[in-house]
Amino acid sequence: MDLRKLDSETMAISRDTQKIEKLAGNIYESVAALGIRSEQIATELKGEFEEKIKEFQTVTDSLEEIYENREQIEVARYYESLPKPTLLATWELLNDKIYLRNPIKEETQDNF
């Protein structure tokens, strides 16, 4: 899934906690899942950003080139303008784009 094409909000907004709670059966599990997913998204975006920045690096950078590399600045601005990983994870959860699973809970249910 291309995270840049999601129709997520770019600013934090108030959410209905009861709706989020229903998705996992527990508000704390829902928030924990959002935290895990937002970490995954942040890692993915960081990797993409670092790959694009490497494209513009040269081996013999002078001091002026380091401060005036416009391509790197534009790439950084683009990634800064993207919605934050927590907003993307929340959008995915509310739009059924991710699946919540608790292996510990599943294991204990299987034992009974």
Q: Look at residue 40 in the predicted model and tell me its pLDDT.
A: 95
C-alpha to C-alpha distance for 53 and 42, rounded to whole angstroms: 16
CB-CB contact of 93 with 19 (8 Å): no
**Mean of the per-residue pLDDT values of the chain:** 81
Residues 20-41 have pLDDT tens digits of 888 878 888 889 889 999 999 9
Q: How confident is the model at residue 48 (pLDDT cuts 50, 70, 90)?
A: very high
Q: How many C-beta atoms surround the C-beta of residue 108 within 10 A?
A: 10
Q: Look at residue 112 in the predicted model and tell me its pLDDT.
A: 56
Q: What number is the average pLDDT over the span 53-78?
A: 73
pLDDT of 59 above 90: no
